Structure 1
Amino acid sequence: MLTIIDKYILKRYLATFSAMLLMFIPIGIIIDVSEKINFMIENKIPFFDIAVYYYNFTIYFANNLFPIFLFLSIIWFTSKLANNTEIIAILSSGISFTRFLRPFIIGASIVSLFVLFLGFSIVPAANEGFNNFRYTYLKTGGKELMRGDNTDVYRQISSNEFLYVNSFNTESKVAFNFVLEKFDKEKLVSKITASRIKWNPKDSTYTMYDYSKRTVGEFGDKIEKASEKNAKFSFELEDLTPVVYIAETLSLNKLYRFIDKEKKRGSSNINVYLVVLYKKYSVPVSAFILTVIAVSVSSMKRRGGMGMNLTIGIAVAFGFVFFDKIFGTLAEKSTFSPLIAVWFPNIVFGILAIFLLRNAKR
């Protein structure tokens, strides 16, 4: 049962966090518009596309920076409580510091559930729209950059089939120097080659040029050749070079299926996809850790007042973001475990939260 004090603190928690979002998101939009307005006018980008972009930008911006907004909002209103000696009055009434934290934890739970819901459903679609706009309109050669490395692509497409193409044109959906090998254990069963292969979207078939198929037999190999041949395969050419941000655009169930498929194919980008998956769970947890740190830091009345608390808060918040970005990039670019990389900032700042909480209780 929530008391009057619980409701008062919880209301301030959610209201200040909402106000922080409403204050900084327009600033982010204004800065982004000022950087891109000339380019948008010169290239005559449709107004509707721009409006959709800034809708997606709002969700993208808020989702990525919500830990900082949450942390600073708690520092702000908790410092005001401390400066007005409200916290001293609350604790003097016999309420322990742990009990004082309860409405903050409830607030963190509400925010975490909301962020979790956004991350599973709304954020993926917003990420797709945001990145599509950037690569379509704002990056030179964007449509090529949005694809991964599309040369010398070698992938395992099933437990016994391996595919290779020398290069893949994303516009024409044509792959060159196509090879498809099928094995039975370690023994080659068949090998299909073609100088190029083209995807036909109308009937979901492929046209192979300079087609050749070798079927390995017990008493001799069978060779089949044709200048042009249509066939159906279980893969799509676009699967060879998925967009670099594809994991960010998938809902939770689709992301799990995509990662499972990429693991079977031996994708070199698997760590990038795992970082995206693990962050869906780690970011909401950070709300609890940053809440405890913020309350512990700002609950004491300091000589520097609210300014000192905000200075400490900004340093801690950007330290958290720094750790998050560094270890995320480390996991994506090396063999470092994505699970450890994603959760390491929460572990480090979780230990800091415990230390600060004990110190605040004293």
Structure 2
Amino acid sequence: MRRFLIPILLSVAGLLLALKIVPGEQLEVATRLREFPDADALAHQFRPVVMTLLCFIPAIGGLFYAFGSILARYVTRQFLSLLAIGFAALATVWLLMDFQDNLDELKQSQNIASTAVQLYTARFPEIVVTLLPYALLLSLLFCLGRLSASREIVAMTQTGRGIARLTAPFFITGLLAAAFCAGLNYQWAPRATAAEKVILDTARGFDEVAAEVVKFRNPRARRLWMVGSFPPDYQKGAPLQQVRVIRENEDSSLKSILVAKSASWNPQNGEWSFFDATLRKLRDGEPPEFVQDLPNPYIIKTWRETPAEIIQPGLPASQLGVPSLISWLKSHPQGSHERRETYLTQWHHRWAQPFNCLVVVMLATPLGVVFSRRGTTGGVAVTVFLCVGMLFFTSISLSLGDAGYFPPMLAAWLPNLAFGGLAIFLFQRRLSGRPIYQTLRRMTPN
């Protein structure tokens, strides 16, 4: 029973964490669907499920540890301790550098410590997704180097266990890390940059959404909204100022123009109330018809736009989660004026990026295992070179996908497929006992 103590404790901790954070996520999803009626409901409703699964991934890892052999648990303890140290060191360096960059903005807040905690709590998913592959790489190379230098790997193979069985804990850890990063990439990691801007603008005394001359186009209803200004508490029902709504016919000709001094939205029934409104009706070949005797307020019950939808910030595709990307793609079907390649590429990238963790483990394992007196320096150098090349290739591939030169799916998955195939080839060479360095030397042009 002592073997199952760790997964039981991790399950209890995951349950307590889920009970604490999942209700807030459910409330945020309900608010999002109310304020953005055209958002994909199923994708957003799946967010609490993903967050719950994230809380229990450590418990799943604990189950693998509990069912492993004594040797597998020993290797796992060696690797995880180094992984924790490596990730903590990388996170500390990253936080110090980022804190220095944001220090001027943080000084303008009333409470620097509280604002800094809020900022880096919001950016924690981004930190994990960014640094976890590097932490896996460094800790795995150091672990295998230490086991090789002490001849422990040679001793383990003398017990009849093969390299595949000895390195299985590394691959399981890489797979769980990829699943964890995929969950964070679903919504929270991509939005961290936008959250950073909101927190820093608030610290400097700026309103996080205040702006002037906001334009929003509803392509389905053929309505263009132009808002002169809006108050900070517009989401609580405060009216929008200087509102103009332009309606179009199916042939893109103007149908009518509604001008109002202010407009407010009722969240209970979805009605729009326009105050001091005038309506101008337009017909081809005829002078415009002005309708000035409108009731005050002029109420429209059939328009589905919401203030949050109209005034939403124009986040780039790289800062949108999976639900927001799905909503954008559904509202901009094939054949519309907007370019879909960027959003499709980012959607595929949300699922492809987490597998960098597994590919890094696959590359580092065969090169980190050393049986000769050569040492681990060559394997470390080659592994780092390949991983840097994979990151560089990923950046180029995504740029080509955004520009439309590559299909979006290929642009997102090509780096993983290429370097994953190379890793499988190197691992096969290691399993068969064939030399790896001579193979890499033949593959490299003189």
Q: Same fold (TM over 0.5)?
A: yes
- CA displacement at 1:71 relative to structure 2: 1.9
- Per the alignment, in what secondary structure is the counterpart of residue 304 of structure 2? coil
1:19 alignment partner AA:
I
Task: Give the match for residue 162 of structure 1.
Answer: 222
Task: Give the match for residue 181 of structure 1.
Answer: 248
For 1:25-44, what aligned pairs fall within 5 Å after superposition? 25-42=91-108, 44=110
1:33 alignment partner AA:
F
- Per the alignment, in what secondary structure is the counterpart of residue 200 of structure 1? strand
Please list every run of 5 or more consecutive structure 1 residues that lacks an aligned counterpart in the other structure. none
For 1:87-236, what aligned pairs fall within 5 Å after superposition? 87-120=153-186, 122-123=188-189, 126=192, 128-134=194-200, 156=219, 158=220, 161-164=221-224, 171=230, 178-183=245-250, 191-194=255-258, 199-202=263-266, 205=272, 207=274, 210-214=278-282, 225-226=291-292, 229-232=298-301, 233-236=303-306
- Per the alignment, in what secondary structure is the counterpart of residue 193 of structure 1? strand
Q: Alignment length, in residue pairs?
A: 349
1:205 alignment partner AA:
W
Task: Give the match for residue 235 of structure 2.
Answer: none
Separation in 1, partners of 2:406, 2:206: 32
- CA displacement at 1:267 relative to structure 2: 6.9
Q: Which has the higher contact order (CA 8 A, sep 6+)?
A: 1
1:93 alignment partner AA:
T
Separation in 2, partners of 1:222, 1:265: 32
- Per the alignment, in what secondary structure is the counterpart of residue 223 of structure 2? strand
- CA displacement at 1:358 relative to structure 2: 2.6
2:149/2:375 contact within 8 Å kept: yes
Task: Give the match for residue 147 of structure 2.
Answer: 81
Task: Give the match for residue 8 of structure 1.
Answer: 74
Task: Give the match for residue 24 of structure 2.
Answer: none
Render the CA deviation track for 1:268-305: whole Å, top value 9, x for unaligned. Answer: 36444434432332123222222111101111257774
Please list every run of 5 or more consecutive structure 2 residues that lacks an aligned counterpart in the other structure. 1-66, 232-239, 435-446
Separation in 2, partners of 1:3, 1:71: 24
- Per the alignment, in what secondary structure is the counterpart of residue 180 of structure 1? strand
Task: Give the match for residue 418 of structure 2.
Answer: 348
- Greater shift, 120-129 or 270-279, is seen at 120-129
- CA displacement at 1:130 relative to structure 2: 2.7
2:227/2:244 contact within 8 Å kept: no
Give the 3 Å change call, closer, same or farther, for CA 238–175 of structure 1 in structure 2.
farther
The yes-or-no answer on 1:59 pairing with 2:125 is: yes
- Per the alignment, in what secondary structure is the counterpart of residue 169 of structure 2? helix
Separation in 2, partners of 1:335, 1:210: 48
Residue identity over aligned pairs, in percent, reads 16
2:246/2:257 contact within 8 Å kept: yes
Separation in 1, partners of 2:331, 2:247: 18
| TM-score after normalising by structure 2 | 0.64
2:370/2:376 contact within 8 Å kept: no
Render the CA deviation track for 1:14-68: whole Å, top value 9, x for unaligned. Answer: 3322221111112111112223323422465654232200222333222123222
2:119/2:196 contact within 8 Å kept: yes
- CA displacement at 1:266 relative to structure 2: 3.8
- Per the alignment, in what secondary structure is the counterpart of residue 207 of structure 1? strand
